[in-house]
Structure formats: C-alpha cells, structure tokens
Amino acid sequence: MHILIATARPVELSDFADALAKGTGAQLHFADSWANALATVKAMPPAFVVLDQGMESGEPLELARQLVLVNAAVNTAVVSPLSREAFHEASEGLGILAPVPVQPTVADGEALARVFRRFM
C-alpha cells in the first residue's frame, strides 16, 4: 500500500510524513506538481492522497474536487488553514477524511495515520 503526498515542500513535511508512514506501514510517494500527482493516481492509484497547499494548479480543496473526477475511490486528506467547522462546510460532499494543519507536526502525522488505519 502507498500514500501519495502532493506537495511543493517535501522537506518541510518530512517529520509529518515519516510519522504517517510509520503509523500506517505504507510506502510514501511524493509528487511535486499537480500533473505528477494526477499521473500517479491514474497509473498506480494510492490508497490515500494528502493534498498540500502551494500547488501551482490551485488550492487543495479545488484539487480534491478534481481528484474525485479522476478516481473517486482514493481516500484524501487536505492541508487547510480553516477551522474544523469551516473545513467541514467547505469540503462537504468531497469525501475528504481529515484536514491537516498548514504546518503539520509528528503528532499530526500520527493522528492522520490513526484516521487512515480505519480505512485500510
């Protein structure tokens, strides 16, 4: 099983990503652009995708909408500055499993791993 992290800042997310990998036992793959992320989802669909901010093609919630059109079966988490309530409202109907803070920590990676394990 693998998890795709679409981000332009893999070094900044490394502690979070390491905790996520450790907590799920999954292999991590990184995509540095939206085009690469879509190509990966089409060629080798991951079990989970984490969409980060700062991608050239749009904000994470918009990219999640596009991802649903490519493969609605992929479970998704999205980096977002929104409060939980505002995030829930903005992401309703997209099937996003969880929001991730803009500056995710090891604890955030562990928490997301617990969410992902429920869907493994």
Tokens of residue 20, six digits: 């996520």
What pLDDT was estimated at residue 97? 94
CA angle at 81 for the pair 27 and 98, rounded to the nearest 5°? 45
pLDDT < 50 regions, the chain: none
Q: Quick one: pLDDT at residue 38?
A: 93
Residue 7: strand, helix, or coil: coil
What pLDDT does residue 8 have?
95
Nearest to 52 by CA among 10, 91, 90, 115: 10
> What is the rounded distance in angstroms from the CA atom of residue 83 to the CA atom of residue 97?
15
| Total-model pTM | 0.95
| Separation of alpha carbons 57 and 55, rounded Å | 6
CATH of the domain at 86: 3.40.50.2300
Query: Rounded to an integer, what is the distance from CA 27 to the centroid of its chain?
Result: 14
Distance between CA atoms of 75 and 47, rounded to whole angstroms?
Answer: 6
95 lies in some domain: yes
Q: How many domains does the chain have?
A: 1
Does 104 reside within a domain?
Answer: yes
Within a domain: 58: yes
Residue count (the chain) = 120
